[in-house]
């Protein structure tokens, strides 16, 4: 069941990240979901480093770290994806 939650959380974080970043992102939905999963993992690691990974009630700070990490990852992956797409078109 853990893998299913990872996909759901990654999907939601990827969509939030794409909505927050200004402009149009050209990465496909499956790639933004993977970026969201990576953002959740990175956000959990940062939260653990700050000592806020497990708190009473809803872990708002951990979720904030996850969203910020997902935004950063989606932003950079979108830049790489666009660069690869442009480079592929130039070769043809």
Given a cut of 50, the residues of the chain with pLDDT beneath it are none
Distance between CA atoms of 32 and 25, rounded to whole angstroms?
10
Residue 64: the pLDDT is 92
* pLDDT score, position 91: 60
Distance CA 44, CA 41 (A): 5
In this prediction, residue 89 carries a pLDDT of 72
pLDDT value of residue 60: 87
DSSP state of 29: H
Predicted model pTM: 0.87
């Amino acid at each position: 069941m853990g893998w299913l939650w990872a996909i759901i959380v990654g999907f939601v974080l990827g969509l939030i990240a794409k909505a927050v970043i200004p402009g149009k992102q050209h990465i496909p939905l499956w790639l933004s979901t993977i970026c969201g999963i990576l953002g959740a993992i990175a956000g959990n690691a940062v939260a653990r480093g700050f000592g806020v990974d497990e708190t009473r009630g809803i872990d708002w700070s951990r979720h904030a770290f996850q969203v910020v990490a997902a935004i950063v990852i989606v932003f950079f992956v979108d830049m790489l994806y666009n660069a690869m797409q442009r480079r592929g078109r130039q070769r043809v």
